[in-house]
Chain A
Amino acid sequence: MTVYSVIGAGVAGLAVATELVARRAKVQVFDPGGPPGPHGCSWWAGGMLAPWCEYENAEEPVLRLGQQAIGWWAEKTEITRRGTLVVANARDLPDLRRFARRTERFREAKNGEIAELEPDLHGFGKGLFFADEAHLDPRKALQDLHRGLRDNGVEFHRKLAPTGLENAIDCRGLHARDLLYDLRGVKGEMLVIRCPDVTLTRPVRLLHPRMPLYIVPRGDGVYMLGATMIESEDSSRITARSMLELLSAAYALNPAFGEAEVLEIGVDLRPAFPDNLPRIRRLGRTIYANGLYRHGYLLAPALAQGVADLALENKHSEMVDEDRA
């Protein structure tokens, strides 16, 4: 029986392995970093399943393919379906109007409705409510996929994949950049804070012309604040400016965030192709699945299905842009 070797156990690799196993293929996984952890950029993600919001600044496939993600993840991990709230300060209302023009499936929240949805948000007269969106805890999601695979007998090798593997599926993100000429890194910075004084129950996006930011509740008063997008490939440190901007956004949502504890600072590089859409490429004996950019959790299910279609059925989904088997 053919054994598929998935290389890389981030969200892409684990989703691909999960999809292959669901279609009764035999799979093994290689990752020298071991089980899901801070070595992978998906560890630092927001975990928003927000195809309608993301469409504001993304290509159409993100909207269409992203919609499948909510159902896919719901079968594998715990997701929260409480929608997304988008707000702006009074002087940035043109940004809210623009956001509304470029997105769909929302309703305007006004006249106190914001306070009804999230009583701890003060001073926002107008907002947009995307009721159908959801979010998940990315770390828990990765661990759940990992556990699910192990339960299904998938072997995890904590080492580099040997060279010359047959039926390899390379999901190493930016580590594969030497083999994918048009892959680049886009720097992202995020913070995890704890602030039991503030209760938010759904992701909130604060629009701002220079630094649109979001905050995602992780439960127990813990929040993820994200995320910068910088065309830089330096993942060593957060800059003071980014930290200031992230924290000011939280402070603008509710000044009580000023007393939050900063639990974590995350910096990593998102793998991205020039149009910021993922790609599947078959070059020789290896299939490369990469370029999830800022849509790791939103597009990993569609990417995984595309890989399984190609590997098992030789079917070309729209993400396949090159096939030189």
Chain B
Amino acid sequence: MKTFYGTELPNPLMLGTAQYPSPAILEQAFRESGAGVATVSLRREGAGGAGQTFWAMIRDLGVLILPNTAGCHTVKEAVTTAQMAREVFGTPWIKLELIGHTDSLQPDVFQLVEAARILTEDGFQVFPYTTDDLIVGERLLGAGCEVLMPWGAPIGSGRGLNNEYALRAMRAEFPDVPLVVDAGIGLPSHAAHAMELGYDAVLLNTAVARAGDPAAMARAMALAIDAGRLAHEADPIEARDMAEPSTPVIGKAFLS
């Protein structure tokens, strides 16, 4: 398994911590999923340490913490939020999210590359939430990122992998870079799909947090991710147009 800035993940599921009905349910979801990484937002919960109690609960989950810059629309906001995150959680990891469009929450890739460069120079280890554009991916690597997190579909949309071709191309183009499908996962089959394509991890939040039974959905996601990863490692067969009998025809008793 590839490492993320030198750290091996215990499990290829990165789970968000927003929108759960309660902290108790959030904790159950983490327990059921075995997720190795928790993403946490800071922008709204606040300056001046106002979110301390909640953040302490996240720390108590005992998983790796990946703070994010969710809700940031400018480089300046994102950089400030990242610096605050480093202070609060004592980690150089930052999931860099720079929103370019209010309705689709599509990343603004131009600002993303710039913020990634600034943060990398400042010693951060950046996990950029990006589109599936190869050139943007290249620029992000050029800016110092060692991980790429392309979207499957817009945040919270639950549409799955909108453009499988582009995600395949990205995997083929960057065979040695840890790649994470981030956003758009709605069902376990979507998560399995990402792993079958050879992605190294899946990041999701809404699909679990807003499910009727978040803990059950968290477990379903974990199972699917395991299945997808195993399938990828098992070298699946190629799809073909004609049937290929699984039992040889030659030598079979001729009865009709």
Contact of B46 among A58, A101, A102, A234 (CB under 8 A): A234
Once bound together, how far apart are the Cα atoms of A184 and B24, in whole Å? Answer: 12
Chain A count of residues within 8 A CB distance of the other chain: 22
Give 1 or 0 for each of A223-256: 1 = CB within 8 Å of chain B CB.
0000000111110000101000000000000000
- Which of A230, A239, A272 has the most chain B CB within a 10 Å cutoff? A230
B230 within 8 Å of A (CB atoms) = no
Residue on A nearest B22 in the bound complex, by CB: A276
Q: Are A234 and B25 in contact (CB under 8 A)?
A: no
Contact assessment for B45 and A231 in the assembled complex, using a CB-CB cutoff below 8 Å: yes
Which residues of the other chain, B, contact A275 by a CB distance below 8 angstroms? 22-25
Partner of A232, one of B22, B27, B45, B57: B45
The answer to the question of B91 belonging to the interface, with a C-beta cut-off of 8 Å to chain A, is no
Chain B, 77-114, contact with A by CB distance < 8 Å: what is the 0/1 string? 00000000000000000000000000000000000000
Contact B53 A185 (CB under 8 A): yes
A232 to B22, CA, bound (A): 14
* A184-B53, A185-B53 known; A230-B45 Cβ under 8 A: yes
> Is B248 an interface residue, CB under 8 A from the partner?
no
Which residues in A have their C-beta under 8 angstroms from that of B27?
274
Closest to A272 in B: B22
User: A163 interface residue, CB < 8 Å from B?
Assistant: no
Tell me the chain B residues, 40-87 only, with Cβ under 8 Å from chain A: 44-48, 50-54, 57
CA of A175 to CA of B120 in the docked complex: distance in angstroms? 43
Q: Which residue from A59, A209, A241 sits with its C-beta under 8 Å from B44? A: A241
**Chain B residues engaging chain A, CB cutoff 8 angstroms:** 21-25, 27, 44-48, 50-54, 57, 156, 210, 212
A-B contact pairs, 28 of them (CB 8 A): A57-B21, A101-B212, A102-B212, A184-B23, A185-B53, A187-B50, A230-B44, A230-B45, A231-B51, A231-B53, A232-B44, A232-B45, A232-B50, A232-B51, A233-B50, A233-B51, A233-B52, A233-B53, A234-B47, A239-B44, A241-B44, A274-B22, A274-B27, A275-B22, A275-B23, A275-B24, A275-B25, A276-B21
**Which A positions have Cβ atoms within 8 angstroms of B?**
57-59, 98, 101-102, 184-185, 187, 209-210, 230-234, 239, 241, 272, 274-276
Closest 4 CB pairs of A and B: A234-B50, A275-B24, A231-B54, A276-B22
